[in-house]
């Protein structure tokens, strides 16, 4: 397994929709393991393949709670899609590994139903509420080329963009 480089804003790859996975082979399975290792190393609650420079509809989600002493656990979803969503949820202090040094309040759905395939190609259906639903929405947004900063006010987004330009000039 390997820790992969995380693609960060304003990289244009983050704004492009990801391609559907048509075959789950050893390359995809290795990518998933590397994505999980990268997510735990960062650390993050989820990671989309596009965030490590791979334009495929794959996400990994951290299922380890802060209280657990168990090994890091995760699940992977291939070609995930939100098929139902309802309720209102305010995700306070949402952040992203691809949008460093920035957190914001984002309006999300409280409950989502997601369909996908697992690493063996089996069909899955997940029904999640609250924070797990937010993580799924956030990561699936990545697959559609949407960052969480695309879901906040234009003013806050512009403030972050100016901050990034300053950082890039300082490099």
User: Which residues are tagged catalytic?
Assistant: 139
Residue among 148, 126, 130 at smallest CA distance from 139 = 148
CA-based nearest residue to 139, from 60, 85, 84 = 60
What is the Cα 118 distance to its own chain's centre?
16
Q: Which residues, listed in sequence order, are joined to residue 98 by a DSSP beta bridge?
A: none
Residue 30's region, left for phi above 0, alpha for psi from -120 to 50, else beta, is: alpha
């Amino acid at each position: 397994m390997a820790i992969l480089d995380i693609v960060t804003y304003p990289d244009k790859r983050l704004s492009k929709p990801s391609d559907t996975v048509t075959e789950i082979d050893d390359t995809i399975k290795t990518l998933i393991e590397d994505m999980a290792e990268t997510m735990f190393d960062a650390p993050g609650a989820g990671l989309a393949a596009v965030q490590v420079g791979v334009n495929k509809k794959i996400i990994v989600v951290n299922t380890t709670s802060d209280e657990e002493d168990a090994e890091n656990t995760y699940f992977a979803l291939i070609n995930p899609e939100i098929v139902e969503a309802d309720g209102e949820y305010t995700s306070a202090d949402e952040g992203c590994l691809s949008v460093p040094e920035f957190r914001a309040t984002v309006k999300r759905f409280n409950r989502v139903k997601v369909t996908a395939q697992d690493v063996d190609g089996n069909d899955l259906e997940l029904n999640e509420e609250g924070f797990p639903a937010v993580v799924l929405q956030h990561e699936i947004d990545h697959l559609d080329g949407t960052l969480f900063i695309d879901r906040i006010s234009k003013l806050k987004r512009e403030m972050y963009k100016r901050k990034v330009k300053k950082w890039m000039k300082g490099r």
